[in-house]
Chain A
């Protein structure tokens, strides 16, 4: 509790100091009230950058993101399944820079100095900040599954960061002969997008069902239960009978080793699965820049103040999105964007001397089980000194047996695409 108060006091105090400093600096244009650097141009970072400018155009915002366009993980399963193209899920930063006046530094953030309050970039720039928003997403833990390193991912794609890996997995599915086995290795919690692997199973099954009907999916899971499980399994039974075998941890589902040269996955108890296509989703941790800056705990994720998302390890740095430990909130694009809006508003409030508000966050995650069969999970969240919790009695998953199931799943399939259109318009549009 006292930690929360201290960090909030520091929050306002240091910003006031920063404002005073910038007022003294000689600048050709109207001086910024404060400088905010944002690391990472995904759902969290891009939202934070845009909403900081919407909240207060007097704040100078710099986004550090090497890519000129961002391919989203949401929607990437539809590319893998052949329903969408990469261009459908790729978004540039033209509106962010041109309309909203965010400065985009197209370099990697390579080091953070929390004392000097600077970020060093791959191009050798040093960017000073009053507040730093870190939304670096995830890195894959190479070697956590024996034999699964970056080289192995060229043969056995993870496709858990959208881009060339997404296209590689799609090409492998297209090249696979009918009758092949497609294996997925699915990690234990926590990881990016809890329902993601199961939507991916669904989209691959949808492709195989018509294009390669003698093929099978072998889903090897390092856990015994998963997000929206009954809804997914009902859908699989209805749409893809006999096509999917899901093997939980308790039935030796955990993959502990891969032999990429032999397209073989090895389970904890030594079963060897030789397959035609292997999608290995390895365990993950916070993006490198956050770990290098000392913001992560031993498990590799970043503890934050649940009221401000300010790092527990360093003042003036907010960690949002997948890299943060956000209590009951899942590692999802929607959650990251929700956190970003609140943090942007909280930073602007502090700069302008307004009191901090009680946080409220939301998450809504749609998944396609089939092209016309959508399901969802949603929650509203509030902050407590012990962490972020979901509001009881609200939220939850789609009903398992709605009165008109076909109509319900159809609507939620439409809303899956509707959410994507709205969210990406709000963030990159």
Chain B
């Protein structure tokens, strides 16, 4: 079950890479900054949530990786984050964590 999303993501990345292959402009892997832009819609700008959703600024890289990895494998209880975390590869989770850890 946990393998499925990873496989699907990997397949899509290959497809995406193919789209730019014919030109010299192959697509760069999605940056941590771009990936982490999907977080702030709910967790607030810079991870500062003004409302009922938990803030995520001030966390360490390790904390973010652990949280997302556990959400992805359904080891950590969640309403929403398990559904989101399954959409990202391990490398992307690492990139997200590196970016989010800079939010103060």
Q: Do A and B interact?
A: yes
Taking beta carbons and an 8 Å cutoff, which residues of A are in contact with B? 1-2, 4-5, 8-9, 12, 51, 307, 334, 337-338, 341-342, 345, 354-362, 364, 376, 378-380, 382-385, 389, 391-396, 398, 408, 411-412, 414-415, 417-423, 425-426, 429
- Which chain B residue shows the least CB distance to A429? B45
A420: which B residues are within 8 A, CB to CB?
51
Q: Are A389 and B41 within 8 A (Cβ)? A: no
Assembly CA distance A394 to B53 (angstroms): 20
What are the 10 tightest A-B residue pairs by CB atom distance, in nearest-first order?
A380-B87, A421-B51, A418-B52, A393-B5, A394-B87, A418-B53, A394-B86, A392-B8, A362-B38, A393-B4
Q: Are A360 and B34 within 8 A (Cβ)? A: yes
Q: Are B83 and A394 within 8 A (Cβ)? A: yes
**Is B76 in the interface zone, CB < 8 Å from A?**
no
Taking beta carbons and an 8 Å cutoff, which residues of B are in contact with A? 1, 4-5, 8-9, 12-13, 15-20, 22-23, 25-31, 33-35, 37-38, 40-45, 49-53, 79-80, 83-88, 92
Assembly CA distance A356 to B8 (angstroms): 22
B9: which A residues are within 8 A, CB to CB?
382, 391, 394
Q: Are A383 and B51 within 8 A (Cβ)? A: no
Assembly CA distance A238 to B35 (angstroms): 38
- Which chain A residue shows the least CB distance to B27? A358
Q: Are B5 and A392 within 8 A (Cβ)? A: yes
Assembly CA distance A359 to B52 (angstroms): 29
Assembly CA distance A141 to B35 (angstroms): 36
Assembly CA distance A228 to B1 (angstroms): 23
Supply 21 A–B pairs (Cβ within 8 Å), ascending by A. Answer: A5-B19, A5-B22, A8-B25, A9-B25, A338-B38, A338-B41, A358-B13, A358-B27, A361-B38, A378-B80, A379-B87, A380-B88, A382-B9, A391-B87, A392-B5, A422-B40, A422-B45, A422-B53, A425-B45, A426-B40, A429-B45
Assembly CA distance A278 to B98 (angstroms): 52
Min CB distance B68 to A, Å, is 12
Known A-B contacts A8-B23, A417-B52; the reply to A394 vs B29 at CB < 8 A is no
Q: A357-B27, A415-B52, A422-B42 are in contact. List 12 more A-B contacts (CB 8 A).
A: A2-B22, A5-B19, A307-B20, A338-B37, A357-B28, A358-B30, A359-B16, A362-B41, A362-B84, A364-B42, A383-B19, A415-B42
**Of the candidates B29, B34, B51, which one forms a contact with A417 in the assembled complex, judged by CB atoms under 8 Å apart?**
B51
**Of the candidates B26, B31, B79, B86, which one forms a contact with A415 in the assembled complex, judged by CB atoms under 8 Å apart?**
B79
A307: which B residues are within 8 A, CB to CB?
16, 19-20, 27
- Which chain B residue shows the least CB distance to A305? B19
Q: Are B4 and A342 within 8 A (Cβ)? A: no
**Of the candidates A361, A378, A393, A408, which one forms a contact with B8 in the assembled complex, judged by CB atoms under 8 Å apart?**
A393
Residue of A1, A8, A358 most packed against chain B (CB within 10 A): A358
Assembly CA distance A17 to B59 (angstroms): 43
- Which chain B residue shows the least CB distance to A364? B42
Min CB distance A375 to B, Å, is 10
- Which chain B residue shows the least CB distance to A412? B79
Assembly CA distance A389 to B34 (angstroms): 18
Residue of A376, A378, A398 most packed against chain B (CB within 10 A): A378
B4: which A residues are within 8 A, CB to CB?
392-393
- Which chain B residue shows the least CB distance to A421? B51
A423: which B residues are within 8 A, CB to CB?
41-42
Assembly CA distance A380 to B41 (angstroms): 13
Assembly CA distance A42 to B65 (angstroms): 33
Assembly CA distance A422 to B92 (angstroms): 23
Q: Are B22 and A1 within 8 A (Cβ)? A: yes
Known A-B contacts A356-B28, A364-B80; the reply to A395 vs B86 at CB < 8 A is yes
Q: Are B49 and A422 within 8 A (Cβ)? A: yes
Assembly CA distance A4 to B25 (angstroms): 11
B12: which A residues are within 8 A, CB to CB?
382, 384, 389, 391
Assembly CA distance A383 to B19 (angstroms): 9
A9: which B residues are within 8 A, CB to CB?
23, 25
Q: Are A425 and B88 within 8 A (Cβ)? A: no
Min CB distance B100 to A, Å, is 15
Q: Are A337 and B30 within 8 A (Cβ)? A: no
- Which chain B residue shows the least CB distance to A4? B19
A379: which B residues are within 8 A, CB to CB?
87
**Of the candidates A5, A358, A378, A411, which one forms a contact with B83 in the assembled complex, judged by CB atoms under 8 Å apart?**
A378
Min CB distance B83 to A, Å, is 5
B86: which A residues are within 8 A, CB to CB?
380, 391, 393-395
